[in-house]
């Protein structure tokens, strides 16, 4: 499923209060797993595949939306995707 | 991997810190390496039960959350000498106890993200089997975080109507955050209550396993209000209940 509509998620930093209010449950599960040990690449793929259709988007769109909001980041030390609380949007890449 | 156990209550005065400290002692007596985080930053108290007195150079959780002190330097070995012979250890990360530091934390706040990183970092660096998070009562960003990252949530309540209602709210939150395991502990049960009736009532009301029904005990207030009941009076019914709860939790988590 793929929608051209923007992802129906709030903008701005992620807080625990915001995470608690998110739907569907599969999205809360993804972000909660990211808070705990973090997600390996196949785990993130599986979680996005479970949650994205319920939001009317593709897994790739969901993943990109979470990264754009700064809610999900790659932790090079742990080699896992981690949920990030209180983050601002990541800086835009330098313009060529 | 370190298992995280959050000890939480909806209201204050349930004996949450007492339970956290004594659970830590029970796990250490089983040969486990346990960390204890005092995240009740507004009203810290578990350090008293653990026999920890901060020296001028002692670091606390506040120094990590609002400063640059590594979390490892904020953890202190408080293993009671009675438990010191085996592998079991207790590492306490106390909260700051002086009024200025508490006021500063309340005024300025901190990035809750740092607390999350600190928990996982200490678990790894100290090779902890278990990490107990003694939370602030009620629901706020910190308690939601410690609930969300828990492998098990221990909800502590007294057998009164306000606790019954508030505990239901906290359990609903834990279910939305998909906490894998939960236990309910009824603490301070007056002697005239029927423990089995209370157990049946709370089990039916909340739909999560009852971990323990612990008695209200005037003598414990005298014997062990500033120390660990499990060490001072291990055969007391309250201590025996906590020991049994620790065995149940160890079986479920490790």
Rounded Cα distance between A32 and B148, Å, is 6
Tell me which residue of B67, B124, B118, B65 sits closest to B95, measured CA to CA.
B65
Interface check for B82 against chain A (CB to CB < 8 A): the answer is: no
For residue B177, give the nearest of A20, A85, A87 by CB distance: A20
Residue A32 domain flag: yes
Residue A58 domain flag: yes
Residue A56 domain flag: yes
Could you give the angle at the alpha carbon of B27 between the alpha carbons of B121 and B19, nearest 5°? 95
Contact A35 B1 (CB under 8 A): no
Query: Where residue A4 falls among pLDDT bands split at 50, 70, 90?
Result: low
For chain A, report the end-to-end CA distance as a whole number of angstroms.
Answer: 34
Interface check for A28 against chain B (CB to CB < 8 A): the answer is: yes
Query: Where residue A93 falls among pLDDT bands split at 50, 70, 90?
Result: very low
- Look up the pTM and report it: 0.93
Residue A44 predicted with pLDDT over 50: yes
pLDDT of residue B81: 92
Contact pairs from chain A to chain B, CB under 8 Å: 44
Alpha helix ranges (H) inside chain B: 16-29, 46-49, 61-65, 99-108, 112-125, 141-148, 161-176, 195-206, 218-224, 229-232, 237-253
Q: Does residue B132 sit in helix, strand or coil?
A: strand
For chain B, report the end-to-end CA distance as a whole number of angstroms.
Answer: 9
Section A19-39 average pLDDT: 95
Cα-Cα-Cα-Cα dihedral sign, residues B77, B63, B39, B179: negative
Tell me which residue of B62, B61, B49, B56 sits closest to B90, measured CA to CA.
B49
Contact B112 A85 (CB under 8 A): yes
pLDDT of residue B219: 84
Rounded Cα distance between B105 and A55, Å, is 38
Contact assessment for residue B211 and residue B183, using Cβ atoms and an 8 Å cutoff: yes
Query: Residues B60-96, buried b or exposed e (16+ Cβ, 10 A)?
Result: bbbbbbbeeeebeebbbebbbeebeeeebbbbbbbbb
Residue A96 domain flag: no
pLDDT of residue A94: 43
Higher pLDDT, B224 or A38: A38
Residue A3 domain flag: no
Residue A93 domain flag: no
Which domain range does residue A72 map to?
16-83
pLDDT of residue A1: 53
pLDDT in tens, chain B (254 residues): 899 999 999 999 999 999 999 999 999 999 999 999 999 999 998 999 999 998 888 999 999 999 999 999 999 999 999 987 789 999 999 999 999 999 999 999 888 889 999 999 999 999 999 999 999 999 999 999 999 999 999 999 999 888 999 999 999 999 999 999 999 999 999 999 999 999 999 999 999 999 999 999 888 877 767 889 999 999 999 999 999 999 999 999 99
**Average per-residue pLDDT for chain A:** 87
Could you give the angle at the alpha carbon of A63 between the alpha carbons of A62 and A66, nearest 5°? 85
Mutate to test the interface with B, among A36, A83, A86, A87 (most CBs of B within 10 A): A36
Contact A86 B112 (CB under 8 A): yes
Residue B117: is it exposed, middle or buried by C-beta count within 10 angstroms (0-12/13-18/19+)? middle
Rounded Cα distance between B251 and B254, Å, is 6
Enter the ipTM. 0.87
Contact A85 B111 (CB under 8 A): yes
Report the number of distinct structural domains present in chain A.
1
Residue A90 predicted with pLDDT over 60: no
pLDDT of residue A87: 55
R_g over Cα of chain B:
17
List of chain A residues whose C-beta atoms are within 8 Å of the C-beta of residue B178: 25, 28-29, 32
């Amino acid at each position: 499923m793929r929608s051209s509509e923007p992802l129906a998620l709030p903008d701005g930093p992620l807080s625990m209060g915001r995470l608690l209010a998110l739907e569907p449950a599969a999205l809360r599960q993804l972000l909660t797993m990211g808070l705990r040990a973090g997600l390996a690449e196949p785990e993130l793929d599986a979680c996005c595949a479970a949650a994205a259709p319920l939001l009317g988007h593709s897994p790739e769109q969901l993943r990109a939306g979470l990264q754009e909001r700064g809610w999900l980041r790659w932790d090079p030390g742990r080699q896992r995707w981690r949920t990030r609380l209180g983050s601002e949007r990541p800086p835009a890449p330098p313009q060529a | 991997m370190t298992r995280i156990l959050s000890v939480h209550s909806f209201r204050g005065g349930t004996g949450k810190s007492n339970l956290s400290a004594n659970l830590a002692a029970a796990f250490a007596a089983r040969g486990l390496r346990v960390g204890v985080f005092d995240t009740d930053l507004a009203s810290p108290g578990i350090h008293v039960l653990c026999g920890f007195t901060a020296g001028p150079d002692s670091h606390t959780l506040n120094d990590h959350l609002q400063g640059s002190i590594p979390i490892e330097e904020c953890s202190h070995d408080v293993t009671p000498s009675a438990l010191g012979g085996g592998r079991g250890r207790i590492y306490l990360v106390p909260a700051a106890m002086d009024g200025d530091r508490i006021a500063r934390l309340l005024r300025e706040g901190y990035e809750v993200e740092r607390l999350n990183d600190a928990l996982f970092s200490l678990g790894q660096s100290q090779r902890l089997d278990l990490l107990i998070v003694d939370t602030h009562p009620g629901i706020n960003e910190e308690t939601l975080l410690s609930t969300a990252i828990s492998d098990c949530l221990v909800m502590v309540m007294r057998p009164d109507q306000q606790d019954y209602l508030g505990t239901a709210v906290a359990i609903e939150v834990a279910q939305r955050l998909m906490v894998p395991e939960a236990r309910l502990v009824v603490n301070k049960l007056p002697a005239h209550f029927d423990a089995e009736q209370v157990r049946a009532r709370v089990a039916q009301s909340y739909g999560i396993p009852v971990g323990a029904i612990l008695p209200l005990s005037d003598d414990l207030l005298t014997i062990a209000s500033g120390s660990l009941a499990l060490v001072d009076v291990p055969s007391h019914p309250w201590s025996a209940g906590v020991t049994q709860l620790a065995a149940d939790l160890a079986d479920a988590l490790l």
